[in-house]
Amino acid sequence: MKKITTPCKPDYKKQIFSEGLNYFATGKKSIWGSGDKETLKFLKKEKIRGKWLNLAAGDGRYNLKLLRKAGFVIASDIDKSALSKLYQGTPKEYLPKLRIKVFDITKRFPFKDSSFDGIFSAGVLHLFSTQILKKIVHEMDRTLNAKGKVLIDFATDIKRVSKNGELIVFESEPQYKLNEAKKLLKTAFKKYRVKIHELRVFEEEFKAVDKQYNFSCKGFLLVAEKN
C-alpha cells in the first residue's frame, strides 16, 4: 500500500470520527501511544489463531500484536492515511499475512458470513450511540464463525481536557459510564460466553492529534466467545 497523506476529514453527523491528519506527519509511533498496558498484556497471553479482523485499526497501535499470533489479519478503518501508516510501519516479514480494507463500520461489513475466527476492536466503539453500536455488534456476529471470539477494549467515563482547561466532547458522543456500558455489551452479546475485565484508570497526553488534550478514562476489556 502506497503512502496516503490526504487527511480523512471528520464528519460527526455521519459518524466519521477521524482526526483529519496526514499520518505521515505524526512520527513513526501511533498518535494514540503504545496502548493500554492491561490490554497489551492480555493480547500477549491470549490464544489468537486463524483469520482476524482488526476493526477500526487506525494507525496500528495494536495491529502488530495481532499479526505476531494470528494466521492472517485484515486491518480496517475509514481513514486511508491512518491505514497507510499502519501498512508502511509493518515489518516486511508480516506483510504477507496482512490485508488493508477501507470501510465504514456503521454500514454492512464488506465480508461474507463466518469470515473470521476473531474480531478485535479498541478505543473506538464508545464513540457510537447504542443504536449504531448494536448494528456493529450484529455485523460482528454475522462475519464471525461458529467458534469465533470477539475482543473489545471499551473506554468509559471519558474526559478530554485541552491545554486551556476546556473540556472536549465530540458532537453526538454518547459518553458512556462504566456500569451502563458493561450492561449494554453483555446484552448485545447475550448469546455468547462473556467475560469482562475492568481496566485501570487510563491517563495519557495526546499531542499528535488535531486538538491536543489530556485524556483519562475508565473502561473494560470484553471477551466474548460464540456458544
Predicted confidence (pLDDT) per residue in 190-214, tens digit? 999 999 999 987 777 777 676 788 8
Most confident among 162-171, 204-213, 215-224 (mean pLDDT):
215-224
Going by pLDDT thresholds of 50, 70 and 90, the confidence category of residue 51 is very high
The answer to the question of residue 171 being in a domain is: yes
Using alpha carbons, select from 76, 36, 71 the residue that is nearest to residue 50: 71
pLDDT confidence of residue 159: 92
The answer to the question of residue 101 being in a domain is: yes
**CATH assignment at residue 61:** 3.40.50.150
**What grid cell was written down for 65?**
500484536
The answer to the question of residue 41 being in a domain is: yes
pLDDT tens sequence across 69-92: 999 999 999 999 999 999 999 999
pLDDT confidence of residue 210: 66
pLDDT tens sequence across 110-140: 999 999 999 999 999 999 999 999 999 999 9
Dihedral of CA atoms 74, 76, 62, 84 in degrees, nearest 10, equals 100
Residue appearing with cell numbers 503504545: 34
Using alpha carbons, select from 83, 94, 45, 92 the residue that is nearest to residue 61: 83
The answer to the question of residue 21 being in a domain is: no
* pLDDT at position 218 over 70: yes
Domain count, the chain: 1
> Which one-letter amino acid corresponds to residue 156?
T
The answer to the question of residue 125 being in a domain is: yes
Buried (b) or exposed (e) across 145-175, using 16+ Cβ within 10 A? eeebbbbbbbbbbbebeeeeeeebeeeebbe
pLDDT confidence of residue 200: 82
